[in-house]
Structure 1
Amino acid sequence: MNTRAHIGVTGLAVMGRNLARNLARHGYTVAVHNRTPSRTKALMEEFGHEGTFVPAETARDFVDALQRPRRLMIMVQAGAATDAVIDEFAPLLESGDMIIDGGNAHFADTRRREADLRERGIHFVGAGVSGGEEGALNGPSVMVGGSKEAYAVLGPMFETISAHVDGEACSTHIGSDGAGHFVKMVHNGIEYADMQLIAEAYDLLRQVAQYSPAEIAEIFRTWNKGRLNSYLIEITAEVLSHTDADTGRPFVDVVADAAGQKGTGRWTVQTALDLASPVTTIAQATFARAASGQSALRTAYRPLPGGMHIPKTRSEAERFTSQVEQALYASKVIAYDQGFTMIQDAALTYGWDIDFGAVAGIWRGGCIIRAAFLDRIRTAHKAAPDLVSLLAEPGFAEEITAAQVPWREVVATAARRGVPAPAFAAALSYYDTLRADRLPAALLQGQRDYFGAHTYRRTDRQGAFHTHWAHPDRPETDV
């Protein structure tokens, strides 16, 4: 077989197939391979006319179809399946060749694989691809980790097939080894938070303001014309306005209220604990999904009393709607800020040199969390590369200041009415925690020193200190 393909894609489920089609549509010759040859044949029969594909049945044929340096993209399930594909293809590659993992791999696995293959002279690239099947076909956001040398070869290709905003590609080199997959993981964590916040806003508008799903859809459409403009707000309006064909009821009322998850949100929270990075809003969004699936617990709790039901007049409902918009915006800013803080913490831990403005830039298009205010986040980080927090930027600080009273009113109303709003409450609590002059952590340190002699620091002098406590079960000593 002649060596002629610019890149190869193995793993032709929906995401792999659509990425291969995207590449071919942009003029690249694409070798395609699947463990089950029938999928390769189906792609050729249905989409072979879209560009130049080189089908391969065996691993050797697939590798032989690639130009040097070979670019081999894996689009299979994360975990053991990815390791199996690497084990199959790596022995067939040569020094300087590249394996690109475009799946939702855990960044720690990517770091391990990159280190192993680097010793064998093979570049391993962890590319976080966001946008789902539509993005894969029409323009995703691509977060690329790995060596700069590999990105010099792959970058133009990814930038060509990615989404574009204002003429700029939504693809960039994030950093070495697992940086790309780490940022994709955090992207998904922010996505969890964003979706939960939107769902809580819907629930409050329905239960407190007594709006119908169709009316709430119109509210979201209005919000989507302003500062909340985003893909998720847009599709939420579509979901809420949809009517179930079988029953004629609002679609949202016939869907079981137990949310699924594929694991990346959970990874974000687990990793945040390892980094001591307080992504509280993301965590509450992840736990909210878990709680929704606890049917036995929900059955046990359901008979218990809730909050007060106080009907609102139309003018009161409209005022409350404005408050919810403020609370939703402020909470979204906190969620994104927590995500960027977590990336900063990881960059320090793993030695990644990450351009945070570039990260915000490539999230403006193609990905699920694309939103208008990401352009402002990009501008803020470009203007101040060492920006500690979005709330240190004057524009965002001013908006949060204006939002805090209605934000508190919404969280208080949710508590009084017994409407769950864990992500709203977590975002507000995070805001209050970081703005406080003094935190009760001082008492925690006293407790820790009392029962475990863990020592504490003082506000008036340097060093570590320990108090000799008079324990109730033993006399005080001078030891």
Structure 2
Amino acid sequence: MKLGMIGLGKMGYNLVLNLLDHNHEVVSYDIDREKVNDIQQEGAIAATSYQDLVSKLEVPRTIWLMVPAGKLIDDVISQLIPYLQPEDILIDGGNSNYKDTIRRAEQLKEKGVHYLDVGTSGGMEGARQGACTMIGGEKEIFAILEPLFRDISTEDGYLYTGKSGSGHFLKMVHNGIEYGMMQAIAEGFEILEKSQFDYDYKEVAKVWNHGSVIRSWLMELLEEAFTKESRLESIKGVMHSSGEGKWTVETALDLQTAAPVIALSLMMRYRSLEEDTFAGKVVAALRNGFGGHTIEKK
């Protein structure tokens, strides 16, 4: 099929390459013209503006938004709306707050435009090779686009989650769990670091990823990080957060549901802004490994 892609950051760019691999036509736009030119060299169709992108798509149009959550999404939608028609479809593949997603879906419905919220996991590698996608919105619209989600996702890696907001809600909780998992791994390695034993952390991560109960992609990424630096010497133990962990904790409080592990992992990220720890280095390295998140160097 032919669709538009707005946003060619780390995830959006790789997602376009994934779509091209599956013989989809992609009209791409980004405020960074260099990225548009680069993706054009890979086979995408370049657009010079929102209006140009819309004009290059057949009705009803499908446009995927891969831009940072928050006001920017609202700004992009408001600039697109004048060029859209009833039955066009917008997909938000970023990490939007599910409450914002519900609001946007209702506003777009009044104009006859369909809106799918797609929680996208797997980092840059997933976007390129096969992601995990969690899709909320009208079931009839999902059914139309299911072949698209099947193509870009890993095997058994996509799920229709229900009404608008449910895809982003599921991704929010996924990221909350991710916070807790990374913090537990980081604390374990900090205990090793402070012990009287001299461990090779690369080998520890490797053996734990072969047959142990805690084997995981995170452990694989950690092995790669320790291969580059045996003690992560150049990395500051600063663990930034992008919002989903906080939203998960806030939602747990609203639902009066205990989530102490996720909540404390969030608190530890805030603490890392004040105190450099080995555990912080581990989490920073992991975030860089799967999502390309910036790490602060010493």
TM-score for the superposition, normalised by structure 2? 0.87
Per the alignment, residue 208 of structure 1 pairs with: 195
Query: What's the counterpart of residue 179 of structure 1?
Result: 166
Aligned partners of 2:138, 2:76: CA distance in 1, in Å?
21
1: CA distance, partners of 2:69 / 2:82: 20
**Once the two structures are superposed, what CA deviation does each residue of 1:385-435 show, in whole Å capped at 9, x if it has no partner?**
xxxxxxxxxxxxxxxxxxxxxxxxxxxxxxxxxxxxxxxxxxxxxxxxxxx
- Contact 1:107/1:178, CA 8 A, preserved across alignment: yes
What's the offset of the Cα at 1:240?
2.7
1:189 is matched with which residue?
Answer: 176
Query: 1:67 and 2:58 equivalent?
Result: yes
The answer as to whether partners of 1:7 and 1:30 remain within 8 angstroms in 2 is yes
What is the alpha-carbon distance in structure 2 between the residues aligned to residue 54 and residue 195 of structure 1?
Answer: 39
The residue number in structure 1 matching 2:21 is 25
Contact 1:155 1:172 (8 Å CA) reproduced:
no
Letter paired with 2:222? T
Conserved 8 A contact 1:31-1:62: yes
Moved over 4 A (4+): none
2:126 is the counterpart of 1:135: yes
- The Cα of 1:196 is off from its aligned counterpart by 0.5
Alignment of 1:203-352 (within 5 A): 203-208=190-195, 210-212=197-199, 214=200, 216-226=201-211, 227-243=213-229, 250-295=230-275
* 1:254 CA displacement: 3.3
- In the other structure, the counterpart of 2:36 is 40
Q: Distance in 1 between matches of 2:39 and 2:97?
A: 28
Kindly provide the CA deviation profile for residues 283-325 of structure 1, in whole angstroms up to 9, marking residues without a partner as x.
Answer: 1111111112124xx8xxxxxxxxxxxxxxxxxxxxxxxxxxx
Q: Which amino acid aligns with 1:275?
A: L
Q: CA deviation at 1:25?
A: 1.0
Paired letter, 1:15: M
Looking at structure 1, the residues matched to 31 and 269 of structure 2 have their Cα atoms a distance apart, in angstroms, of: 34
Corresponding letter in the other structure for 1:280: P
- In the TM superposition, what is the alpha-carbon distance from 1:132 to its structure 2 partner? 1.6
SS of the residue aligned with 1:39? helix
Kept after mapping to 2: 8 A contact 1:31/1:54: yes
Instruction: Give the direction of change, closer, same or farther, for the CA distance of 1:41–1:241 in structure 2 (3 Å limit).
Output: closer
Shift of 1:193: 0.6
Identity of aligned residues (%): 37
Q: CA deviation at 1:120?
A: 1.4
Larger proportion of strand: 2
Q: Is the 8 A contact 1:16 1:75 kept in 2?
A: yes
The amino acid that maps onto 2:215 is N
Following superposition, the deviation at residue 209 of structure 1 comes to 5.1
Mapped contact 1:257–1:292 kept (Cα < 8 A): yes
State the alpha-carbon separation in 2 of the partners of residues 290 and 14 from structure 1: 25
Q: Secondary structure at the residue paired with 2:232?
A: helix
* Structure 1 residue identity aligned to 2:219: I
**Separation (CA, whole Å) in 2 of partners of 1:116 and 1:40:** 30
Taking structure 1 as reference, are residues 187 and 209 closer, same or farther at Cα in structure 2, changes over 3 Å only? Answer: farther
Aligned to 1:80: 71
> Aligned-pair distance for 1:44?
1.2
Superposition pairs of residues 28-177 of structure 1, within 5 angstroms: 28-45=24-41, 47-48=42-43, 53-164=44-155, 169-177=156-164
Residue 184 of structure 1 and its aligned partner are, at CA, apart by 0.7
Deviation at 1:9, TM superposition (A): 0.2
TM-score with structure 1 setting the length: 0.55
For 1:365-404, list aligned pairs within 5 A: none
- Distance in 2 (CA, whole Å) between partners of 1:61 and 1:252 is 46
In the TM superposition, residue 175 of structure 1 has moved relative to its aligned partner by 1.3
Inter-partner Cα distance in structure 2 for 1:60 and 1:287:
44
CA RMSD after TM alignment: 1.9
* Structure 1 gap segments, 5+ residues each: 244-249, 299-367, 369-479
Provide the aligned length of Structure 1 versus Structure 2.
277
Max radius of gyration: which structure? 1
* Unmatched tracts of structure 2, length 5 or more: 277-289, 291-298
Where 2:184 maps in the other structure, the secondary structure is helix
